[in-house]
């Protein structure tokens, strides 16, 4: 596909992707929530922020942090979070140490790589994370510090 086809598809998704008519009928009302994630004194980009409720909720709020470390929480692709109390986990992994080989067609392929956690597992485990938030009918914000820079080999 050409670059223009991808741009057209992206525009169509933005225009028609998450309209209220696509919203599940059993989804509760959502309220705005932004989470700012700090690591080593600066913003953490590309981390997954997930809210975990003690109650049985069908839809789990989740978002990625941007370059500024902020994550605008979404539930099932819709902006906002249902009212409730949540534990917050933050996770970021990266694949590195790639080993390549050239196949019979002369194409370079990845043979192996290692996966590394870039956030201390303390913050990525719902049982151990110290971060919590309560969502009310007001706009919510949270600032999370996930400690110093971290790099540990992981088994995905």
Q: What is the pLDDT of residue 148?
A: 94
**CA–CA separation, 133 vs 32, rounded Å?**
13
**CA–CA separation, 71 vs 74, rounded Å?**
9
Q: What is the pLDDT of residue 40?
A: 95
Q: What is the pLDDT of residue 155?
A: 61
Q: Are the C-beta atoms of 43 and 67 separated by less than 8 Å? A: yes
Strands, DSSP E only, in the chain? 33-39, 42-43, 48-53, 61-64, 70-72, 74-75, 78-79, 84-91, 93-102, 108-117, 132-135, 140-145, 152-154
Q: What string of pLDDT tens digits covers the 156 residues of the chain?
A: 444 454 555 544 554 444 456 888 888 899 999 999 999 999 999 999 999 998 777 889 999 999 999 999 999 999 999 999 999 999 999 988 888 899 999 999 888 888 899 999 999 999 999 999 999 988 899 999 999 988 888 765
Domain count across the chain: 1
Q: What is the pLDDT of residue 93?
A: 92
**CA–CA separation, 95 vs 118, rounded Å?**
11
Query: The domain that contains 32 carries what CATH number?
Result: 2.60.40.10
Q: What is the pLDDT of residue 12?
A: 47
In what order do the strands lie in the sheet containing 108-117?
Answer: 93-102, 108-117, 152-154
**CA–CA separation, 12 vs 87, rounded Å?**
35
Q: What is the pLDDT of residue 132?
A: 95
For residue 23, the enclosing domain spans: 3-154
Q: What is the pLDDT of residue 123?
A: 96
């Amino acid at each position: 596909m050409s670059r223009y086809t991808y741009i057209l598809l992206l525009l169509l998704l933005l225009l028609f992707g998450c309209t209220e008519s696509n919203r599940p009928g059993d989804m509760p009302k959502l309220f705005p929530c932004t989470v700012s994630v700090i690591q080593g004194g600066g913003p953490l980009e590309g981390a997954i922020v997930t809210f975990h409720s003690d109650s049985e909720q069908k839809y789990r709020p989740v978002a990625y942090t941007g370059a500024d470390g902020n994550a605008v929480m979404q539930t099932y692709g819709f902006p906002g979070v249902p009212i409730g109390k949540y534990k917050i986990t933050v996770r970021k992994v990266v694949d590195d140490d790639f080993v390549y080989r050239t196949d019979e067609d002369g194409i370079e392929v990845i043979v192996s790589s290692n996966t590394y956690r870039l956030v201390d597992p303390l913050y990525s485990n719902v049982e151990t994370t110290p971060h919590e938030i309560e969502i009310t009918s007001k706009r919510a914000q949270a600032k999370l510090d996930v400690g110093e820079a971290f790099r540990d080999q992981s088994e995905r």
